[in-house]
Structures are given as structure tokens and as C-alpha cells.
Copies of this chain bind each other. A is one copy, B any other.
């Protein structure tokens, strides 16, 4: 509704990565200096509650965000660069569902993150 919110929303929809709050703040500031960090935090929470963005935990102690899409996807974090790749797997989802059921639970959420290092490619880098 407000200008700041609009800017933050734009920043989020333009992002194709997984920025943390500080980074969203940085990008929003570029569009409109004068947005405060507190406002970004408040907006992120609001967007999250509204189901517009999803919080992801990449293991660095800060909350990162991505636009909420319909699909249930997971993340693979490059432990050397911090970059985040995404993947989906109906197999994994199905097995997890079954495991929860077997344990007597209805699955209401899944947090899955893989951490990996790039496999050496033939003969290029390093």
C-alpha cells in the first residue's frame, strides 16, 4: 500500500536468488534511499505471513527469502560459495510423507537442505 512496501515487493519479484534481509534492504535502498531496515523486516514478516514469500535457512544464521511458488522444492547450498540451487523430487516427497505416516504423524512441513561442494570438473578450475 505504501511506497516503501511497493519498492520492497518489486525488489523481491525482481530477485531470482535468495537474499537475506540486509540484502533486500540494500536493493530497496537503491530504488529509494530512506527506507529503513526495520521497515524491511516488518515487510518481510508481513509478506511471509501472507504467503507471498518463504523464509529459507541456508545455515548462515540469517533468514533468507524467496518468492513463494506453488511447488514444494528444496535447496542445495554450495558450502564454498553460499550459492543456493533448487531441486524438486517427487520421490523424496513421497517417501518423507510415508515415513511421517508410519511414525504416526501427518506431515505438515518439511525442511530439507543439502550442503555440497562442486565436483571437480574434468580439467578447468582450481
Contact = CB atoms under 8 A, between A and B. Distances in A.
Q: Interface majority SS on A: helix, strand, loop or mixed?
A: strand
Interface of A: 57, 59, 76, 78-79, 85, 87, 89, 91-92, 95-96, 99-101, 103-119, 121
Contacts of A101: 119
Contact of A116 (B100, B115, B117): B100
Contacts of A78: 105
Contact of A87 (B76, B103, B121): B103
25 contacts: A57-B57, A59-B111, A76-B100, A76-B105, A78-B105, A85-B103, A89-B95, A92-B95, A96-B114, A99-B114, A100-B114, A100-B116, A103-B116, A104-B121, A105-B116, A105-B117, A105-B119, A107-B115, A107-B116, A108-B116, A109-B114, A110-B114, A110-B115, A111-B114, A112-B112
